[in-house]
Amino acid sequence: MRYLAVAIAALLATSSAQAAPATRIPDKALATAAQLREQALADNTGWKVVESLTTEVGPRLAGSEADARAVAWAKAKFEQLGFDKVWTEPVTFPKWERRGEKAEVIGPHAQPLKVTALGGSPGGTVEGEVVRFADLAALKAAPEGSLKGKIAFVDYQMVKARDGKDYGNGGAIRSRAPSEAIRKGAVGFVMRSAGTDSHRVPHTGITRFDDGLAPVPAAALSVPDANQLARLVERGPTRIRLSLDCGWDGTATSYNVIGEITGREKPKEVVVIGGHLDSWDLGTGAIDDGAGVGITMAAGHLIGQLKQAPKRTIRVVAFANEEQGLYGGKAYAEAHGRTADDLKLHQIGAESDFGAGRIYAFNTGSPAPEGSREATRQIAEALAPLGIEYAPDKGGPGPDIGPIAAKGGAWAWLAQDGTDYFDLHHTADDTLDKIDPKALAQNVAAYAVFAYLAAEADGGFGSEAKPTVPPSE
């Protein structure tokens, strides 16, 4: 029965392949990839790159002086690592700055609280009674005007998961709850950090305010501080004072920094891998996303060291300002994915931006995936010795690959174990010591194998221009 089922599946695969010529990876490339995989596992280039970026540049908020240093660092690093072509592409965005932040309980239980402003928050000092909500739905259900003169506190505790799925809830509170609170009359907003740790390190991250609303100071409490505030609110009316010195200040221009290993046969067709170069300002941006930069720079470097260049070009992108709205990814899609002709040159893309945990699953996707399923399976087979399983019909593009994928670009998903990611994400604790060099090397091996094989494939992964989505009514 089992063999019969396999035979039928094979027949179906063949018939599908006859309808659209199936992409396949040549055996010789698979043999080279196996060597590349072992070599990458024994190599520490990825670690050295993250160590260099997080130590020499440190925190690098988009648009800051340190961000400019990071751009210079990335160019120099690509060159040191022997990339064939290195260049920058400008990315312009509104500039937000954090200068200071403070919060305290006032009254009979006076004490300081550890907070951090959400990115995009205005500055200002507000004081008021705290009204606690268990989650976003509870805040939404509050009567109009019920928060007049008060400070809303959304107290949702994120749950750990390998795929970080509860960030859906935590992230939604961060981006949408401040506007909800303003609509109910609140003069300020605090939330339990979208995090899974138990340290006094609040988690920042971008928020936004709906059009027509006057923004109010919005901040995240560390998890222990949220516990504390919840206990105080349970005892009786509790007032806090929130003082943020931060805000928008004109525009800034940073750069996507790009390095290429030129393809030997189809140099204009590119496999894109990358991470984002900017970080929040609280930590040194090790897991978010020095790791992604290190993993993909090292993967490109190792492919560049092969005796023979791959068939297509490997393009490594250190994206600008991912944190505040995917500005680098959007600029990249605009520059390299605008037309159907652009998309024909986009073989496939993948971003590493979920920490430095081991990769456990792989898949690809595109508007026309039928012809590339066998090649995807072949790549998954080459990744299997790294403990990575093929996960058909799962995953999606990384954040900065999202904009080009939305236009029709094929993407690959190399799923990292994010169990501990939200212990550190967007906090002061995002530092180099949180990266396991062996896990990082596994990531480098996976990216090197994937990028090399995708570049060597006979055929594509289904990139094609998507019809423009008509505006919804």
The footprint of its own copies (CB under 8 A) covers 51, 54-59, 65-66, 69, 105, 108-112, 114, 198-201, 223-224, 227-228, 231-232, 235, 283-284, 427-429, 431-434
* Closer by beta carbon to its own copies, 261 or else 428: 428
CB of 99 to its own copies, least distance (A): 12
Least spacing, CB of residue 68 vs its own copies, in Å: 12
> Looking at beta carbons only, is 66 or 317 nearer to its own copies?
66
- What amino acid occupies position 237? P
Is the CB of 231 or the CB of 264 nearer to its own copies? 231
Do β-strands 151-154 and 124-133 pair in parallel, antiparallel, or remain unpaired?
A: parallel
Q: Cβ neighbours of residue 181 under 8 Å, at least 6 residues apart?
A: 139, 147, 152, 154, 189, 216
Q: Smallest distance, Å, CB 427 to its own copies?
A: 8
CA 304, 440, 166, 394 dihedral sign is positive
Distance of CA 468 to the CA centre of its chain: 25
Q: CA neighbours within 13 Å on the CB side: how many for 385?
A: 12
The smaller minimum CB distance to its own copies, of residues 199 and 266, is found at 199
Least Å from the CB of residue 385 to its own copies: 31
Q: Which tokens is 453 given?
A: 């094989």
Q: How many CA atoms lie within 13 A of 300 on its CB side?
A: 37
Give the shortest CB-239-to-its own copies separation in angstroms. Answer: 15
CB of 444 to its own copies, least distance (A): 21
Distance CA 64, CA 87 (A): 20
Q: Decide: 93 and 269 in contact? Cβ < 8 Å.
A: no
Closest approach, Cβ 60 to its own copies, in A, equals 9
Count of CA atoms in the C-beta half-sphere (13 A) of 51 = 9
Our CB check for its own copies shows the closer of 51 and 84 to be: 51
Q: How far is the CB of 194 from its own copies (least distance, A)?
A: 18
AA letter at 121: S
Nearer to its own copies, 16 or 228 (CB): 228
For 382-410, letters b (16+ CB in 10 Å) and e give bbeebebebeeeebebbbbbbbbbebbbb
Residue 358 DSSP one-character state: P
DSSP letter (8 states) at residue 409: -
Are the beta carbons of 446 and 359 closer than 8 angstroms? yes
CB of 252 to its own copies, least distance (A): 18
Contact 297, 81 (CB under 8 A): yes
Where do the H-state alpha helices sit in 287-393?
291-304, 327-336, 340-345, 373-383
Which is closer to its own copies, CB of 341 or CB of 433?
Answer: 433
The gap from C-alpha 58 to its chain's centroid, in whole angstroms, comes to 18
- Look up tokens 């035979």; give the residue: 7
Minimum CB separation of residue 301 from its own copies in Å reads: 21
Nearer to its own copies (CB atom), residue 12 or residue 110: 110
CB 447 to its own copies: min, Å: 25
Under a CB-based contact definition with an 8 Å cutoff, are residues 190 and 151 in contact? yes
CA dist., res. 169 & res. 194, Å (int): 8
**For residue 417, which of 350, 361, 349, 351 has the smallest C-alpha distance?**
361
Measured from the CB atom, the residue of 27 and 433 that comes closer to its own copies is: 433
Q: With respect to its own copies, which residue has the nearer C-beta, 158 or 428? A: 428
Distances (CA, A) of 185 to 173, 189, 428: 17, 11, 32
For its own copies, give the closer residue by CB, 82 or 112.
112
